[in-house]
Amino acid sequence: MCGIVAYVGSKQCQDLMLEGLKRLEYRGYDSAGIATMHNGKINVVKTIGRVANLEDKLETVGGVRGTIGMCHTRWATHGGVTDPNAHPHTDDRAGICLIHNGIIENYASLKTYLQEKGHVFKSQTDTEVLAMLIGELYDGDLEAAVQAALREVTGAYGIVVMCEKEPETLVAARKGSPLMVGVGNGEFVIASDGSAIIAHTSHAFSLEDYQVVKVTPKGFRTSTIHNVPVTPKVQQLEIDLEQIELGSFSHFMQKEIFEQPKALRNTLRGRTDIREGKIVLGGVGSFAKQLTMAKRIVLTGQGTALHAATIGEYLIEDLARIYSVAEYGSEFRYRNPIIEENTVVVAVSQSGETADTLAALIEAKERGALALGVVNVVGSSIARETDAGVYLRVGPEIGVASTKAFTGQVAVLTLVALYLARRRHMSADQCADMIRELEQVPDKMERILEDDARVRTVTEKYIDRDNWLFLGRGYNYPTALEGALKLKEISYIHAEGMPAAEMKHGPIALINDGMPAVFIANRGRQYEKVISNIQEVKSRGGRIIAVATEGDEHIKTLADDVFYVPDVPECLSPMLTVVPLQLMAYHAALLRGHDVDKPRNRAKSVTVE
Ligand code: F6R
Q: What is the pLDDT of residues 556-581, one digit of tens each?
A: 999 999 999 999 999 999 999 999 99
Shared domain check, 315 and 272: yes
Render pLDDT for 90-131 as a digit per residue (tens, 0 to 9).
Answer: 999 999 999 999 999 999 999 999 999 999 999 999 999 999
The model carries a pTM of: 0.84
d(CA 565, CA 475): 15
Least reliable range by pLDDT among 27-31, 184-188, 237-241: 237-241
432 and 392 both lie in a single domain: yes
What is the percent of the chain where pLDDT is above 90? 88
Domain shared by 427 and 528, yes or no: no
Domain carrying residue 237: 3-242
Nearest CA to ligand 1 atom 3: 303
Asked whether residue 380 falls in the same domain as residue 332, the answer is yes
**Within 13 Å of residue 362, how many CA atoms lie on the same side as its CB?**
15
pLDDT the model gives residue 1 = 65
Q: Give the residue from 366, 306, 304, 376 showing the smallest Cα distance to 333.
A: 366
Answer yes or no: is 98 within a domain. yes
Final residue belonging to a domain, choices 242, 263, 295:
242
Domain total of the chain: 3
- Is residue 579 situated within a structural domain? yes
Residue 49 pLDDT: 93
E strands of 19-132, at which residues? 31-38, 41-48, 68-74, 89-90, 96-101
Is the pLDDT score of 239 beyond 80? Answer: no
Which of 446, 464, 499 is the C-terminal boundary of a domain?
446
607 located within any domain: no
Residues 407 and 499 in one domain: no
**Mean pLDDT, range 170-180, rounded to an integer:** 94
Within a domain: 600: no
- Kindly give the distance from the C-alpha atom of residue 514 to the centroid of ligand 1, in angstroms, as a whole number: 31
Q: Which residues surround ligand 1 with Cβ inside 6 Å?
A: 301-305, 349-351, 354, 357, 401-402, 485, 489, 605-606
Predicted local distance difference test score (pLDDT) of residue 252: 94
Q: Is there a domain that residue 604 lies in? A: no
Considering the domain boundaries, does residue 582 fall inside one? yes
Q: What is the CA radius of gyration of the chain?
A: 25
Average pLDDT rounded to a whole number, residues 408-423: 98
Residue 534 has pLDDT above 90, yes or no: yes
pLDDT digits (tens, 9 = 90+) for 43-74: 999 999 999 999 999 999 999 999 999 999 99
pLDDT digits (tens, 9 = 90+) for 298-327: 999 999 999 999 999 999 999 999 999 999
393 and 472 belong to one structural domain = no
Question: pLDDT confidence of 604, banded at 50, 70, 90?
Answer: confident
> Looking at 446, 468, 486, which one is the last position of a domain?
446
Pocket test for ligand 1, best of 299, 300, 304 (most atoms within 8 A of CB): 304
Q: Do 299 and 359 share a domain, yes or no?
A: yes
Q: What contacts 285, CB < 8 A, 6 or more positions away?
A: 388
Residues 145 and 265 in one domain: no
For residues 239 and 33, the model is more confident at 33
**Which atom, in ligand 1's list, is nearest to the CA of 401?**
7
* Same domain assignment for residues 559 and 436: no
Is 13 an annotated catalytic residue?
A: no
Q: Cα(472) to centroid of ligand 1, in Å?
A: 21
Same domain flag for 273 and 206: no
Round the average pLDDT of the chain to a whole number and report it.
Answer: 95
Report the CATH number at residue 262.
3.40.50.10490
pLDDT of residue 341 exceeding 80: yes
DSSP H or E segment with residue 539 = none
In a domain, 608, yes or no: no
451-500 pLDDT, tens digit each: 999 999 999 999 999 999 999 999 999 999 999 999 999 999 999 999 99
Does residue 609 form part of some domain?
no
Give the whole-angstrom CA distance, residue 531 versus residue 137: 69
233 is catalytic: no
Do 473 and 369 fall within a single domain?
A: no
Which CATH number covers residue 17? Answer: 3.60.20.10
The Å distance, Cα 60 to ligand 1 centre, comes to 38
User: What is the C-alpha to C-alpha distance for residues 599 and 466, in angstroms, rounded to an integer?
Assistant: 17
Identify whether residues 87 and 124 lie together within a single domain: yes
